[in-house]
Amino acid sequence: MKQFVTAGTLAVALAVGGTALAQQPPPPPAKTPATTAKPADQAEKPAAKPRPKRSTMSAADKDAAAHTAPKQQPGTAPEATAPDGAMVLGTVRLPKRVKADGKDLPAGSYQVRLTPEEAKPDAKGSSEKLERWVEFVKGGKVVGREVVSIVPATEAKLVQKDTPPPSGGSKVETLKGGDYVRVWINKGGNYYLVHLPNA
C-alpha cells in the first residue's frame, strides 16, 4: 500500500508540474542571422552587374573633351615664285606653222623671251605670277606672243610625266591628238610651257 501511495503522489506531482509548465508563456524565438541558409539543392546566384550609364554627349563634345591642346596642322608648301622682270629663255625651232595669240607664226627658229607682264585676264594656273607672256623674237623683232605657264623647280616633280628637256635646253613636240604644239623650256630649274594651236 505504501508503494501505491508513493506512485499516486508522483503522478499528482507530475500532473501539477505539467499544468504549471503549460501555463507559462512560451520562450521568445531564437534570433536568426541576417542571411538564412539555403537548401543545398539551390545554387548560389551571382550578384547582378551594374548597368553602364549611356552618355548623352555628342561625338563632337566627346572629341572636344578628349583634346586639351589643338591638333598639329600639316605644314603648307611655300608660295611658288618665278623670276621677276624680262629674261631670255632660249631659242626654239618650230617645225610647222602655228598660232600665237590668235595670229599666224610661221615655222622657223625663234628666240623666246619672258616678259614681266602677267596674263591676268587669261590666267588658268594657280597664280597669276606663274602665268606670264612670252615673246617670239626673230631678227630682233617681236613677231608673236603667247601665255607661258611657269612650273617652279619645287613643283616640277609633281607635274612632270614626260622626259623633260635638259637644263638650259628646250623641247618642241606635237601633243596627242595633233591640235597643239608644246614648247617646253628648262631654265634655272623652272619649266616654261607654251601651248600653241596648230594653224
Q: Is residue 147 situated within a structural domain?
A: yes
pLDDT at 5: 47
Q: What is the pLDDT along the chain (199 residues), one digit of tens a residue?
A: 445 445 555 555 555 555 555 556 666 666 555 555 555 555 566 666 767 666 666 666 666 556 565 666 655 555 556 677 889 999 999 999 999 999 999 999 999 999 999 887 544 545 567 899 999 999 999 999 999 999 887 777 766 677 888 889 999 999 888 899 999 999 988 999 999 999 8
pLDDT of residue 96: 93
pLDDT recorded at residue 39? 57
The confidence score (pLDDT) of residue 123 equals 45
> Are 119 and 126 contacting, i.e. CB atoms less than 8 angstroms apart?
no
Query: What 3 state SS string does 117-150 have?
Result: EECCCCCCCCCHHHEEEEEEEECCEEEEEEEEEE
CA distance 116 to 132: 7
Report yes or no on 137 lying in a domain: yes
Residue 188 domain-assigned (yes or no)? yes
34 occurs within a structural domain: no
Q: Which residues contact 132 (CB under 8 A, 6 or more apart)?
A: 82, 114, 115, 116, 117, 118, 119, 147, 148, 150
Question: Which domain range does residue 188 map to?
Answer: 87-197
pLDDT at 195: 95
Residue 37 is assigned to a structural domain of this protein: no
Is residue 46 included in any domain, yes or no? no
> Do the domain assignments include residue 44?
no
Q: Report yes or no on 133 lying in a domain.
A: yes
* Structural domain total, the chain: 1
